Structure 1
Amino acid sequence: MRLIKNKHLSRLFTRSYLLRYLRPSDDGILLFLAVSVGIATALALWIFHIGIEWFHVLFVEKIAHELGEAGLVISLALAGFIIGWIMQRFVGHEKYHGVAGIIEQVALAGGRLRYKVMPFKAFASAMSLGAGASVGPEDPSVQIGSNLGSMIGQRLRLDEDHIRLLVSAGAASAIAAAFNAPIAGVFFAIEVILRGELTTASVSVVIIAAVMSAALTQGLDLGEGAMGPFNFTLGSALEVPFFIPLGLLLAPLSVLFIRLNFSQADFWHRVVKLPTPLKTALAGALVGMVGIWLPEILGGGREVMNEVLKGEQESVIWLLLILGFTKMLMTSVSLAAGFVGGIFAPSLFVGTMFGDFYGNVIVEIFGNAAGDPRSYAIAGMAGMMAGVVRAPITAIMLVFELTNDYRFILPIMLVTVVCILVGEFFEKHGVYQLALVRNGITIPEGREVDLMQGVTVQEAMFTPPPTIHEKASLTELRDSLRAYHRNALCVVDDHGRLTGIVSLSDLQQAYRGEDSYHLTVGDICTREVITAAPDDVLWTAIRKMGANNVGRLPVVDPHTGELVGMLNRHDIVEAYNKAIHKKLKDQQTAEQIRLNTLTGAHVYELHIKGNSPLAGLSIAEVKWPPETVVASITRRGRLVVPHGNTILRVGDSLTIVADPHSEIALMNLFNEEIPWG
């Protein structure tokens, strides 16, 4: 299979003196780029961690130490002010923190990331972590690797499919280098970045990059203090049931962490009305005040996790709970207010604390039969990460590579699966996906499917369906058919279960008989009914209707047999129209994202409200912010091409292309809230 069909890239490789004679295949060129991404990511992360150490010395060991007890508060506030200014001045407004933006760009913009602003984000992230903000380094590391992959792909003018592969390779390389866990890096790229889209090319490229990154990091000792390996293991199979309650405990806690992250973002965005530098400085002061009493929550917390998991730190059991909850709150505050980092490492920290707490309680109750409490700590680390990020295979493989013990896989899998299954009952999406959903973007897992295969029967059916009891008389049936204006009704029993279908023709045929007065609906209805289940895709229901020449299908719960809805041709057409509308809207969103990526401009859809001062003015009379263009106006469903003398009216929807630095002025002009992720 030929992977690259790019004349520019082929010419580049042909000019090389050595490669002129080797003449590598297209597959070989792509794998060479994967190796390059892996090596570049490892070296970039080495520089990134040097920056973290340098800022730690500056803000913690010098400024904070010299200023005494209040030094940590002042140093974090100072760092927050600088970080806020850098992000506002050089990066601009970003809808998403960390990995969520990469997922969006890979799915909708062909992996074309804004790699030119990445140095400023990496600088701000290194300062955040070095100064002690309660954020993690793994998300920025993933951004660094992904942006390197995107930069290589864009500079070599690769097509979008191959740019996406190199972005995923960069993400895998970052996780592999951070934990010396190449397998976990591969699955992170596949599960989180590519959303489960598996091809031979994607797997090969991601594996090569992750292995090279991990090998270089380990061989040259480029990484920060590594986690593990840990030397404890599962004592016996009798310990496995003790891990099930841990998964049940972590499920609501992981959902709490997700929701706390977004509730804090809402609070700092809508309530704290300060310029970005002052807002980040205020958050830094808050984190610093908490850090004076609980220094363990500062930074990524990798050293604290190592001490707990290796048994080097004896903690009061209730302190573990306090550290877990405080870390969740301070991480949410740090990210919401503008510090640059991620939630990946904090979720590992929180899971470790809660897992160790649970392990100590279980050992106190059951003694040696429960095993080593540290085993529950590392299982908690995997469970919490899986519950927050919703990447179960990544979590399982990460812990496997940290423990180097295949016997520990069973309890890890158990905790992870229980945590995710129970967590999805409370919150369907993980932290990255929820950030996208809140902005109206839904990215399906795996490959794109046909429209009718992406809509379920439950989404298209109408409820409640008209029914009649099987013991009803024929007179009641006649009255019901008239009342519902139907030619047929579903027949149900005392429990609401479908038992048949009765039609007007069945009633007419029954009246021709001699004993019609003694018959019930159950006597004349058709018992063999073609049905659909709520979770069936609409395409399956359409095939059933076509094969059996029927115009409607009862929808029945497959577990209880209860009638839950009815599906007819009109419902299918309406669902198809909605699916097309959503598809077009997703394509429009993708084009807006591409425009933003390629030009740096943002696309806004704003509305003229009833109290808007813009109503009645012409476009030329409005004092627009700099670098702002009105691209189109939608008025009562019709497209209006704007001109200088076009009068703005209440209810108009304007599509505006503007420089992101003009966003605040633009939102104030329309009395709108500034969007965020």
Structure 2
Amino acid sequence: MLSQYLVSRLRNFWQPRRSHAIAEASLIGLVAAVSAVILKFGSGTLGVWRIQGSNIFPAWIVLPSVGLGFGLLAGFLVERFAPEAAGSGIPHVKASLANVPVKLSWRVAIVKLLSAIITIASGLTLGRQGPTVQVGAGLAAGMSRFFPTSPDHRRQMIAAGAGAGLAAAFNAPIAGVLFIIEELLQDLSGLTLGTAIIASFIGGVVSQLLGGGSLVYPRSTHLDSSMDLREIPFYLVLGLAAGVLAALFNRGLIQSIKLYDRLHVNLPLRIALAGLICGVIISLLPVEFRNNTGLREFVIIGGVSASRAVIVFVTQFFLTLIAFGSGAPGGLFAPSLILGSCLGYVVGVGEQHLLGMSSPTIYALAGMGGFFSGVSKVPITAIVIVFEMTADFQLVLPLMITSVTSYLIAEKIFPGSLYSKLLALKGIDIEHPTSVEGILSNLTAEKVMQPRVETLDVNMTVEETMQAFSSSHHRGFPVVEEHKLVGIVTQSDLLQIRDRNLAKDTPLREIMTPHPVTVTPHHNLSNVLYILDRNNISRLPVVEGQRLIGIITRADIIRAEADRLNCKSETGPRPEPSYVVYQTRSPSTGRGRILVPVANPETAAILLEMAIAIARDRHYEIECVQIMLAPRYTSPATTPVRTTKSRRLLRQAEALGKKWNIPIHTQIRVAHDVAPAILETIQESHIDLILMGWKGSTSTPGRIFGDIVDTIIRQATCEVVLVKIGNTHLPRFWFPQQISTNPLISFSSTPQVSGRIFPNQSRPRFNHWLVPMAGGPNARAAIRLLPALITLAQEPKIRLTRVFHPNETKPDLTILERAIRQLIRRRQLSSLVVAAPIQAESVSEGIINLVKQENYDVVMLGASREGLLKHAITGNIPEEIATNVNSTVILVRSAIQSS
């Protein structure tokens, strides 16, 4: 009780409050500043090592080698640990703030930080400011997961983290706030503005204290930055040139990304290729080109001629296109500033020759803001960034003329945000944000409905109907006849039994409501909600023609809205279909087909053994599939994969099938996700039953069995059998040497001298079976599988049981009697099957205690209505049982009925 009280008080304490938001924003600003300083000094230290190496050894060897090696390392880190860390990072932050399900977390932030340090140090012409924005946002997103906050509050904290990152990178807190308002969140509410100001201020101040300030030109350099009216045309020309070239630069970035995509190589090779090319080009240029930050400062303080500035602009322009298109973790802010400074310096030299009024350095600073404005489409932020870095108020007017002109020209030539267009390349559209009303209008019933529907047959009796209601949490059931919807029965319909004094054997069709209100799978949620309100009902059958394909409830609609608000909707880039890279076919002689996904070589053997047992009993064929994952940014059809080990494993499965005369087909698929690939295989190969391994537990929040298994259980139309292998160490593969002809004894109990089934190891036992029963179609499916699976046993013994509460004085044993009759009718098992109920406070407690007391080898669960299907959602009984027993646990879900 005390622990519950403390937890409750802690939750109440951390409820969202303005004071907590301010404290959280302060902490975010501090962490973002530290990460920005680490990025600066980390990349600087490695960069100095690279430059010193190129001075000692031949530059044409060192620079390309470092670019190649560091590119491979950075690409590996991103691809292996956080693919979201590729590229600038700002588009990902913007997508997350637009409620697109793009991952932002501590893991993404750390990978982004490390990979950006390596990328920038490799010599690629990319900046560290863009990565600091994503690092700050990722750290804020990870921090916000510890607090029970609303989605809006979380978005505000992510935006504050992004602003703090930018403020720390440029030592420009005001610019950090304006960037949030102008580009990312576009929100001026009090909480957003307050947290953004606090986080950006702390980020900028702490970064400066730790030595992370951004140096543009020596503060000791005093320049007369006052502007004469005669200079206005030159600043307009500078803005015009910056706008045109910035638009051309943006178009070049898009084309560069598309070019790399056409190469069909993975991310490490793309970044390594970019590092190699940049290293070769830079090695041919003068020494000052090897340090990007020093090069910008060199241009600004007037250390180059106009011709040298043009060369810097051209080389930096194309090197940035090469680097950014590869997907390397680096930003565009620093390259934009270098390009702008070169362009402004050239215009300033021209003005000095004609009028002799201002230093080219002033024009270089104005050009920085102009080109930055044209690329990022944030003119106010561009003005403030340069102003805060220089602390020269007289620069504001030249900056305003240049930045606004550049923005207007660039917007005319290349309209829209560059970051939005980068997201559009990945299939993410954030230009038209979807409101809740938009969700209801865009989502259809097919996307939200529950495809698994518990139905009652029209020929059932009233007594059977009452039993179904008593063992279910549902308040109504669709009624079907030959898989077609003919009515619906609810708890209110059962009142007719008492009012009309109906007999227990009265058919269900006499009390059901015929011709129920239905919707089609193409109805949008607005129409569904209207029909629910209009008819004052809580659920609607979804039909296609007369065939029942699902059911949709008010809770499903609420869940769809909540998923969208929490960035869990399916909006965003859709994974491409899987691609078959290897396939073998056997003669099709079976009456059905079993699918066995092969993922773990240590469990593949026992899964195939069980599949063969079922296939022999039902005269089925077996389809073995292995899924190989492809990165999101590549197409499964063009991703290079190595299939040697997979083919070796599948060939062993084929040999096993030939030994027992079971047709075994094999295939290897390349896919973005495992679950959709399995569902595609089920559909394409006309699978009747899928048999797959199951860990027995999941650490994924909101999941019952795990991401993959949950998806298969919800969407696979065939019968599903999940197997959690008992805690017996299994061999990598085996070949059974002898099988008894006795239908109840599959494997010989005589030890083999050579070629044993499990060499030097014991195989999991399948002798003592416990089958809890609670009624429902899934329990019946488990009973139908039992005769085939007990052929794995040497001395099979089966106990059917039902858990009932101690308060029940007379437990209902009808279900157990039915199951025994079904088993005896299938096989002569009367001497092997016993039925005995047990008392327990809960289903899981009763089963776990019984397994431990009597040492059952296998627990076979049918995901039934009351006992398992209901609690799999609310209490997850299968996981609790599987976690707390050492036995093998088999969970069966029957096929979804369809016509």
Residue 628 (structure 1) aligned to one of 658, 661, 674 = 674
| Structure 1 residue 97 displacement after superposition | 3.7
Matched to 1:367, the amino acid is L
CA deviations over 1:59-79 (Å, ceiling 9, x no partner) = 332477345542212222121
Instruction: Please identify, of 407-416 and 297-306, the stretch whose mean Cα deviation from structure 2 is larger.
Output: 297-306
| Structure 1 residue 282 displacement after superposition | 2.3
Change (3 A) 1:68 1:261: closer
Residue 265 (structure 1) aligned to one of 257, 263, 267 = 257
* Partners of 1:9 and 1:157 within 8 A in 2: no
CA deviations over 1:377-429 (Å, ceiling 9, x no partner) = 11111111111111111001112223323332222112111111111221112
Ranges in structure 2 where 5+ consecutive residues have no aligned partner: 1-5, 439-559, 596-622, 629-672, 689-706, 710-899
2:132 & 2:397 partners in 1: Cα distance? 30
* Partners of 1:64 and 1:70 within 8 A in 2: no
* 1:318 counterpart = 2:292: no
Aligned residue in 2 for 1:293: 284
Structure with the greater alpha carbon radius of gyration: 2
RMSD of the TM alignment (CA)? Answer: 4.1
CA deviations over 1:358-380 (Å, ceiling 9, x no partner) = 1112222x2224x2222211111
* 1:244 counterpart = 2:236: yes
* Partners of 2:109 and 2:136 within 8 A in 1: no
1:353 & 1:618 partners in 2: Cα distance? 68
| Structure 1 residue 345 displacement after superposition | 0.9
CA deviations over 1:585-613 (Å, ceiling 9, x no partner) = x999969963799xxx985254999xx99
2:258 & 2:126 partners in 1: Cα distance? 18
Aligned residue in 2 for 1:666: none
Change (3 A) 1:355 1:425: same
Matched to 2:114, the amino acid is F
1:186 & 1:102 partners in 2: Cα distance? 15
| Structure 1 residue 136 displacement after superposition | 0.5
Matches within 5 A, 1:28-39: 28-39=19-30
Residue 373 (structure 2) aligned to one of 375, 378, 386 = 386
| Structure 1 residue 224 displacement after superposition | 5.8
1:70 & 1:608 partners in 2: Cα distance? 40
* Partners of 1:198 and 1:446 within 8 A in 2: no
Aligned residue in 2 for 1:507: none
Aligned residue in 2 for 1:484: none
CA deviations over 1:211-263 (Å, ceiling 9, x no partner) = 11112222343446465656431232332232111111111100111111121
CA deviations over 1:128-179 (Å, ceiling 9, x no partner) = 1122111101011111111111111112232211111111111111221122
What secondary structure sits across from 1:625 in the alignment? strand
Matched to 1:219, the amino acid is L
| Structure 1 residue 644 displacement after superposition | 6.7
| Structure 1 residue 109 displacement after superposition | 4.2
| Structure 1 residue 443 displacement after superposition | 2.5
Matches within 5 A, 1:471-550: none
Aligned residue in 2 for 1:328: 317
* Partners of 2:156 and 2:192 within 8 A in 1: yes
Aligned residue in 2 for 1:357: 346
1:588 & 1:646 partners in 2: Cα distance? 34
Change (3 A) 1:377 1:392: same
2:708 & 2:287 partners in 1: Cα distance? 43
* 1:11 counterpart = 2:1: no
2:208 & 2:216 partners in 1: Cα distance? 10
What secondary structure sits across from 2:575 in the alignment? strand
| Structure 1 residue 210 displacement after superposition | 0.9
Matched to 1:423, the amino acid is A
What secondary structure sits across from 1:368 in the alignment? coil
CA deviations over 1:165-218 (Å, ceiling 9, x no partner) = 111111111221122211111111222221x22211100000011111112222
* 1:115 counterpart = 2:117: no
* Partners of 1:631 and 1:642 within 8 A in 2: no
Aligned residue in 1 for 2:818: none
| Structure 1 residue 642 displacement after superposition | 5.5
Change (3 A) 1:159 1:8: farther
Identity of aligned residues (%): 25
| Structure 1 residue 625 displacement after superposition | 1.6
Matches within 5 A, 1:660-671: none
Aligned residue in 2 for 1:604: 575
Instruction: Please identify, of 125-134 and 432-441, the stretch whose mean Cα deviation from structure 2 is larger.
Output: 432-441
| Structure 1 residue 305 displacement after superposition | 2.0
Which structure carries more helix by proportion? 1
1:290 & 1:281 partners in 2: Cα distance? 14
Change (3 A) 1:412 1:280: same
Ranges in structure 1 where 5+ consecutive residues have no aligned partner: 1-6, 16-23, 452-585, 635-639, 648-656, 660-677
What secondary structure sits across from 1:264 in the alignment? helix
2:381 & 2:423 partners in 1: Cα distance? 21
Matched to 2:207, the amino acid is T
What secondary structure sits across from 2:251 in the alignment? helix
* 1:99 counterpart = 2:90: yes
Change (3 A) 1:331 1:66: same
1:89 & 1:339 partners in 2: Cα distance? 14
* Partners of 2:216 and 2:389 within 8 A in 1: no
| Structure 1 residue 87 displacement after superposition | 2.2
Residue 686 (structure 2) aligned to one of 645, 654, 672 = 645
Instruction: Please identify, of 438-447 and 373-382, the stretch whose mean Cα deviation from structure 2 is larger.
Output: 438-447
Aligned residue in 2 for 1:213: 203
| Structure 1 residue 85 displacement after superposition | 2.2
Matched to 1:630, the amino acid is P
CA deviations over 1:48-95 (Å, ceiling 9, x no partner) = 223213322443324773455422122221211222222222223777
Question: What's the TM-score once normalised by structure 2's chain length?
Answer: 0.49
What secondary structure sits across from 2:356 in the alignment? helix
1:330 & 1:9 partners in 2: Cα distance? 57
Aligned residue in 2 for 1:425: 412
Aligned residue in 2 for 1:368: 356
What secondary structure sits across from 1:594 in the alignment? coil
Change (3 A) 1:628 1:447: closer
2:181 & 2:245 partners in 1: Cα distance? 26
Question: What's the TM-score once normalised by structure 1's chain length?
Answer: 0.64
